Amino acid sequence: MIEKPRDFIAYEKQKARLEERKTSRQLVKSVLGKEFLVNPGVYDTGLDTELMIEHVVVSREENILEIGCGTGAVILSLADRAKEGLGVDINPLAVKNSQENASKLGVSNITFRESNLFKKVHGAFDVVVWNPPYNAYPAQDEVEMMFWDSNNSMKKRFFAEVSSYLKANGRIYFGWADFADLDVKLPYTLAMANGFRLRDQWFRKADSGKYSFGVLEFSRPK
Ligand SMILES: C[S@@+](CC[C@H](N)C(=O)[O-])C[C@H]1O[C@@H](n2cnc3c(N)ncnc32)[C@H](O)[C@@H]1O
């Protein structure tokens, strides 16, 4: 798991990023060689986004579901490795931003829709991905849910519900970090409590060296 001691408290930095996201103009960000529009009110891509794209395994015979698609950077970057996919987000600004990026990149095998977790999702997927809001601070609205997950309630629901949307041999890829102000064991505990096991994990330090982002891969036990 994650090494100790952890001393980076994310709150102030994420609060400032949130203010910036609420007031920013449209940006253009390069993510692993592809350009994405990042609209106001939508999560800006980062090292965590890139780690996801690098570590998710999906094949041309498989379908993929991304919860919390943001700008669409993750699922749109994986589109040509997958048969088809669905990206959902609770924030309507994110859904619109993802659709704009899909048109701009000419991606036609991925659709997007507004959904609170799995509420508007139908069917079962080979791969389910979520790079979630990490911290448990209270979110005042849907835009703030890019960073805050009040009382970790969405992460708890995700692990309780994902099984119904995952094929028998399906895989979950879950974004994570080792900030001092989050319960770093939470996804491992929730996954285990809901019948999943950790298959692999990858962590990378941010440039500051103060914290790391990770991707955790879970599946059902064989
Ligand atoms: C950390 S951002 C990740 C965005 C993008 N996937 C990326 O990696 O760049 C978390 C995303 O989850 C979305 N989100 C939070 N709670 C959600 C929920 N209950 N249902 C769907 N999406 C949710 C947020 O709106 C946000 O777009």
Q: Among 131, 137, 140, 161, name the best residue to mutate to test ligand 1's pocket (greatest count of ligand atoms within 8 A of Cβ).
A: 131
> What integer pLDDT is reported at residue 222 of this predicted model?
77
Which ligand 1 atom minimizes the distance to the CA of 157?
19
CATH of 11-219, one of 2.40.30.200, 3.40.50.150, 3.20.20.70, 3.40.50.300: 3.40.50.150
Does residue 116 have its Cβ closer than 6 Å to ligand 1? yes
Q: What's the whole-number mean pLDDT along residues 102-106?
A: 98
> What integer pLDDT is reported at residue 6 of this predicted model?
82
Q: Dump pLDDT digits (tens) for 158-202.
A: 999 999 999 999 999 999 999 999 999 999 999 999 999 999 999
Q: Are strands 110-114 and 84-89 parallel, antiparallel or unpaired?
A: parallel
CA 191 to each of CA 1, 3, 43, 87, 97: distance values in angstroms, whole numbers, following the listed order:
14, 20, 25, 22, 30
Q: Dump pLDDT digits (tens) for 205-215.
A: 999 999 999 99
Q: Are 49 and 73 in contact (CB under 8 A)?
A: yes
- 1 pLDDT more than 90: no
Distance 193 CA to ligand 1 centre (A): 23
Q: Would you list the domain boundaries of the chain?
A: 11-219
Strands of the sheet containing 84-89, edge to edge, are: 110-114, 84-89, 63-67, 125-130, 166-177, 212-219, 197-205
Q: What is the DSSP string of 26-60?
A: -EEEEETTEEEEE-TTSPPP-HHHHHHHHH----T
